[in-house]
Structure 1
Amino acid sequence: MEKDYFLLEDGKKRIETKFSENGWLTIYESNSEDIDDQSTVFCTLISNKKLEETEDKYSWPFLMGSEGKPSVFGDNSYKVNAEEGIEPFIFYRSFNLPEKYVTYFDISEEFILYFNLYEKAKDKKNRKFYFIDELGHLDEVLIVEPKSIKVKLRYLKEYITLKEMHFVVCFEFMRLSTELPTEWKITNIDKTTKSSNHTYNHLIRHVSEKKQSWILGKVFIHPNKEKKSHFDFGDSKNEEFIIGFDNDGEEILEDCSETDGNHFKVTYFKKEVLNKYYNEPTIYDVDGFSVGCKYFRLKIDNNVKDYVPVFLTNLRVLPHKEQLHWKQYNIQPQNNMNISGTYYKTMIEGNWAEHPETADLFFKSKYEEFNKKWEKKFGWRLYKPLSEKDKYLFTSLHKITTNNVKAFCEQTHTVVKLTIERLNEKELVRNIDSGVKGSIAKFEKFLESNSMVIPDLFEFLRNLQSLRSGLIAHSFSDSNKECRKALKYFEITDENYADVLEEIFVKSFYTFNTLEKHFKLDE
């Protein structure tokens, strides 16, 4: 045993940090396996009056196991807490069952209910409690383990602030040693240390044939100076966004709260603002007129190629964290910026536009529309439905906003998956030579059998397939001859990935239009 260890210097450091680390406060701890090295941490809430009575005393204001439970007194009077001014935060529970003895800790139900904490439990001794925010994100608040309980300090501080109480972490550290080196020069002490945040006594003495080092005391967690709730009971905070310029050329910022005369003010965002939502298609969905999830739905104009216009007051539907996401992509308006004709017809005039204006949204719209028309004509779909696990691909399909090869590869893969790989080969070969191999070849033979020869279309499809086949970890294989031909066909460089993907979208819905016209699907 080292000298500092016997002198409980590690325990003193924890006292100085008020048992908090990385935003978490230890409110229960038990280490009693080693009779010569034991520690206990417990807690309670106390009133202002009780704080004044006990802050100079290092003794605990309660006995563990009798920490303020509901009590009935001799005159049959009932009290929620046995001692006035002391309120338990954790409850020691014990049950002497016939087959075994069961113990565990419960947490103050008032605290759980105040934050509406969600519990995940392996068993009573292993539980976690989460706060669920306005976007459905889970934030750990309480961790209950067999030998330890921790609470996130900012939640506890809000709770005791609103209750106008103080939180007391009570502690006891004790170490015993049969023999101490004489050069340590350790003598008996009985010293009490006080500050505004703690009071404790350090006792060193002989106990039987051992030397004992013992610290007993408590740390005070005081409420915040200002009452502030985790929940917003008043008007929600709305961020400011750029709506124009003043006469000096400075940006004009206005918050998105609704006022007279600002309903049709427009603010603009980089297209990249939507990447967050496209990248999580199981949570969010994006179309030409909105982006949303189960927690919010924001009206947007997603029909413009290079930016996203939004009516300023629409942004107020977003939770504050989400407003901050949009704010970082807010851009200055330019003279040529405006909302799209599609958005104007639909959202302002109330006349539903026929099609979206951007290539990606137009492709998705035509894909579904064409497939329905084809099925009505032939009784089967040209493109088979995606499997359940692949449905997110259609949702997440979008044009890319930067020349990012990874994003280009992912979106190109999706286009191939939706078109070439979903061709209904079983139906295509019903009336053609069954010896034809490959979905593209079968599709070509099917069209030829219906008096339709379009070599340019199949040159595009084969090169698109080759491009997909040549992908290796978001790059292109130099050893793949067909891939090299595809790179040349699409004239791909490191600077034009976004433009090439646009071309792929355009040629794909041209395919739908050509087939639609030849087979007279609108008749």
Structure 2
Amino acid sequence: MTKTPLDDFLEFIDQKHGEESWVSLYKKISKDDKSEDGILYSTLVSQNATERAMSQSSWDLMLGGGAPGFVIGSENGKEVVTYLPQSDSEYRRVVLYREFHGRKDNYFEISEEFRLFHNLYLDQKSSTYLAFDDAGDEIEVIKMTPSEIKIRKRYLRSFMAATQTNLLLYFEVTRHFTSNIHYKNDIKTDSLCVTLYSGKSYSEGFSFFARALGKKLIRCEPIEKSGIWPFTQAKSYEDFIISGDLDSPIAYSCDPDGLANYFGANPHAPHYLTPVFFKKEVMQKYYSSSDYEISDGHLSRKGSWSLRLDNNTSGYVSVFLGDLGRDLPSKEQIYWKSFNLIPDSHSISETNYQRSFLGNFYDPESAEHQFKHAFVDVQEACSKVFGWSIFLPLADKDTHFLNSIRSMLTCEQSEFDALILAVAKITIDSVNVKELRKHLDQGDESKSIVLLELFLQNLGIQNHDDFSSFLRGVQSVRSSGVAHRKGTEYDKVIAKLNIDKDNYQAEFDEILSKFVSLFKAIVKAI
């Protein structure tokens, strides 16, 4: 390329503009010392109009157009008025500039067609348009600031392929100099059309300017490259260990179309219902985010995907091989694969066996699911009999405490502390003190555990003393070691409750089971 006073800018246009991961569809160019100013803009152009557009360096349209309107022509000697969805005809703007001529502030917006094509969501706080991939993860597609609008290249190329339109990247940049500059030149290639010229500067403190005006062409790919149905890429499938041992693990693809079933398909392949086992820690990612819902035998991401799984076993979870392929997005399969276990002596739970193979209704075995089921039952029973629930509903910002309750995934002290806090928050801390005081005719001095003790006694529950001691023990663990700094008092409480600090997983399951017994006793009594 011929050397010019704007050589570095032209090199950027030629080599990088439109080729990087993010493409500037609009950008205001300026320097604080007034030595440079300019603008980048863009549009999509039809195949028919592309060669005509590239025959000259001047822009084919300006910022403020693109709105619907009428055009007047003639047909058989008569005037014909035609309505056009966009007045630019052969051009399709992705970025539109809205002008209100001083009545309101002007602003940029993204074309409705583009937003709907990719089903983009506008995050108004960050002025960012988002898409969601198969796994439900957010992807920034468009970033907007007052001085620049950038779009992720693969989403722009996808739209170009679908509409079979090419991209015109307009540019105009002016640099100012104190020394005399006289320059004029044209650059013309298959993808670049530029006019270079100079003149007297209009910027204070400078004598002359050099300006580059032109456009760059990026052609669209075939329509099959749009990546949108029916041109979506084939889903990829991971291999998972289904048998063997540590020395010779045997893995097989989870592609459901390649597995055997009860109808004679792929007789030499593993069966669709072959269980695959995973470390319990695979669930940590999902428990730690409110974006996911975990229930008895089911995991889902809101508005995205769902998976049947067996989470009623202790120490591991399992999923049928075919379900991994059918229900998990490819990137989630990769995540699960990192937790894949050798089957060894593992087996599915009785709950899963009864439900999946015998078609029976079967109560969960896991203390986690038993707790949540029993908690709902006791709330509903009290509401039905007394007109109020024994535990107050959680505030919106506290609902994560109920969702987070689970069998422990590790034996870490931090996880035990967090779960003790959660279970105390939704039970002891949420006792419906006001209604219990009225029901038991108690004064305002009575506290939550005292009221629960009296309530259990009032219901005639025989072992109410044991339940009361248990509740006080949980409250003591929370108060002495979770809500405050740990010390000798915490060690005494742990010892008094016979909690094995080396086996927090089993101990917390036992705590959940005792709560289940309490809830069931209340339901039975009322």
* 1:252 corresponds to 2:254: no
Aligned in 2, Cα 1:89/1:286: closer, same or farther, shift over 3 Å? Answer: closer
Supply the distance in 2 between the matched residues of 1:142 and 1:223 (Cα, whole angstroms). Answer: 19
User: Structure 2 CA distance, aligned partners of 1:270 and 1:403?
Assistant: 14
> Partner of 1:44 in structure 2?
43
Compare 203-212 and 259-268 and name the one that shifted more: 203-212
2:367 maps to what in 1? Answer: 359
Aligned-pair CA distance for 1:385: 4.1
DSSP-derived class of the 2:225 partner: coil
Whether the aligned pair in 2 keeps the contact of 1:204 and 1:212 (CA below 8 Å) is yes
Pairwise CA distance, 1:401: 1.0
Q: Residue 256 of structure 2: SS of its match in structure 1?
A: coil
Counterpart in the other structure of 1:439: 448
Return the alpha-carbon distance in structure 2 between the equivalents of residues 21 and 118 of structure 1: 25
For residues 374 and 359 of structure 1, the distance between their equivalents in structure 2, rounded to whole angstroms, comes to 22
Alignment check: 8 A CA contact 1:204 1:213 kept: yes
Structure 1, unaligned runs of 5 or more:
1-5, 181-185
Give distance in 1, aligned partners of 2:512 and 2:256: 38
* Change over 3 Å in CA distance of 1:66–1:509 after alignment to 2: closer
The alignment's TM-score, normalised by the length of structure 2, stands at: 0.77
Secondary structure of the residue aligned to 2:140 is strand
Mapped to 2, the partners of 1:120 and 1:483 lie a distance apart of 46
What is the rounded CA distance, in whole Å, between the counterparts of 1:14 and 1:294 in structure 2?
A: 41
| Matched position secondary structure for 2:220 | coil
Task: Give the drift of 1:465.
Answer: 1.1
Identity of aligned residues (%): 28
Residue 171 of structure 1 aligns to which amino acid in structure 2?
F
Determine whether 1:278 maps to 2:281. no
* 1:18 matched to 2:16: yes
Normalized against structure 1, the TM-score is what? Answer: 0.78
* 1:112 corresponds to 2:110: no
Gap runs ≥5 in structure 2: 262-270
Give the match for residue 476 of structure 2: 466
How far is 1:398 from its partner?
A: 0.7
C-alpha distance in 2 between matches for 1:416 and 1:447:
18
Query: In the TM superposition, what is the alpha-carbon distance from 1:50 to its structure 2 partner?
Result: 5.2
CA distance in 1, matches of 2:441, 2:65: 85
**Alignment pair present for 1:27 and 2:13:** no
Q: What corresponds to 1:407 in structure 2?
A: 415
- Structure 2: which amino acid aligns with 1:257? P
Residue in structure 1 matched with residue 183 of structure 2 by the alignment = 189
Counterpart of 1:504 in structure 2 is: 511
RMSD over aligned CA atoms reads: 4.2
2:265 counterpart residue number: none
Matches of 1:437 and 1:207, distance apart in 2: 84
| CA–CA distance in structure 1, aligned partners of residues 461 and 347 of structure 2 | 45
Alpha-carbon shift at residue 202 of structure 1 (Å): 3.7
Match of 1:422 among 411, 426, 430: 430
Q: Secondary structure at the match of 1:167?
A: strand
AA at the equivalent of 1:485? K
Residues 197/405 of structure 1: CA separation in 2 closer, same or farther (3 Å cut)? farther
* Paired residue type of 2:449: I
Matches within 5 A, 1:72-83: 72-75=72-75, 76=79
Corresponding position of 2:376: 368
Matched, 1:211 2:205: no
Match of 1:3 in 2: none
Partner amino acid, structure 1, of 2:336 = W
Q: For residue 163 of structure 1, what is the aligned residue in structure 2?
A: 163
Query: Secondary structure of the equivalent of 2:377?
Result: helix
Q: Equivalent residue of 1:73, what SS? A: strand
What is the one-letter code of the residue matched to 2:284?
A: N
Hey, what's the Cα distance between the residues in 2 that align with 1:298 and 1:226? Answer: 33
Amino acid at match of 1:168: L
The alpha carbon displacement at 1:263 in A equals 3.5
Retained in 2: the 8 A contact 1:174–1:215? Answer: yes
Deviates more, 1:77-86 or 1:364-373: 77-86
Which residue of structure 1 aligns with residue 264 of structure 2? none
Find the aligned partners of 1:343 and 1:66 in 2 and give their Cα distance.
Answer: 63
Match of 1:289 in 2: 297
Q: Which residue of 2 aligns with 1:183?
A: none
Question: Do the aligned residues in 2 keep the contact of 1:238 with 1:257 (CA within 8 Å)?
Answer: no
1: CA distance, partners of 2:12 / 2:221: 21
What SS does the corresponding residue of 1:402 show, helix, strand or coil?
Answer: coil
Larger CA deviation: 105-114 vs 307-316: 105-114
The secondary structure found in structure 1 opposite 2:130 is strand
Q: State the number of aligned residues.
A: 496
For the Cα contact (< 8 Å) 2:142–2:151, is it kept in 1? yes
Deviation at 1:417? 1.9
Cα distance change on mapping 1:374 and 1:291 into 2, 3 Å: same
